[in-house]
Structure 1
């Protein structure tokens, strides 16, 4: 699925926010190739955040309970630099602005994409987003 389509699906899930949804779609799309055999780039995102020192916060977004916040600087340090730079460049934003915007939307998005407090298995991210997006008549 194209990153633009993923951004459109995320926009519906998050209730607006074109810029943030497109950034998140681009981030998840760029991490999609890092999950061998998986159609779900959430695995790659959570692995990258865990390796970057944000595993505890990311786990709070998946599990039931409160979502721990992160800031843009933490996110920029946790993600591979080329990943964040590519996402920011694609959006036409400075890297720090992209990181700040992503840090605001990631907890809510991951929380909504992990129903029941678990990562979905054998489900593509696109199917999961469609299943959790309010339908408009």
Structure 2
């Protein structure tokens, strides 16, 4: 199961199947570097301890919606919300809930596994 499959599975109940399926592709388009770019942005914004805990072994440090709000470009978050058709704060809540576990599950050696090519996607 890919990282994005885990994210979609975790989000299915919260966002609905269509929105959950769309989120990984939206992250890839909105954040330079995709999910790795999102993690880099979090680390550069002072949340490296959390990101490293997700990538490493041991307990995953939580990240809050306020942490995400502080770290992420507001226009990126709003773009995700708009593309999913959900409220801005729901994007932050969803990412706070899903990112730690999803990243942890897909970084067995301390690095994200390369994502599988998106179905029907194309290179940017």
Bin the TM-score by the shorter chain: 0.7 to 0.9
Do the aligned partners of 1:48 and 1:80 also contact (CA within 8 Å) in 2? no
1:79 maps to what in 2? Answer: 72
Pairs aligned (count)? 110
**Equivalence map 1:11-90=2 (5 Å):** 12-14=5-7, 15-18=9-12, 19=15, 21-22=20-21, 24-25=23-24, 26-31=26-31, 34-35=32-33, 41-90=34-83
CA deviation string 1:43-85 (max 9, x = no partner): 2112110122211101110011111011111111111111111
TM-score, with structure 1 as normaliser: 0.67
1:126 and 2:116 matched:
yes
**What is residue 122 of structure 2 aligned with on the other side?**
none
* Cα distance in 2 for residues equivalent to 1:86 and 1:23: 13
Compute the RMSD of aligned alpha carbons: 2.6
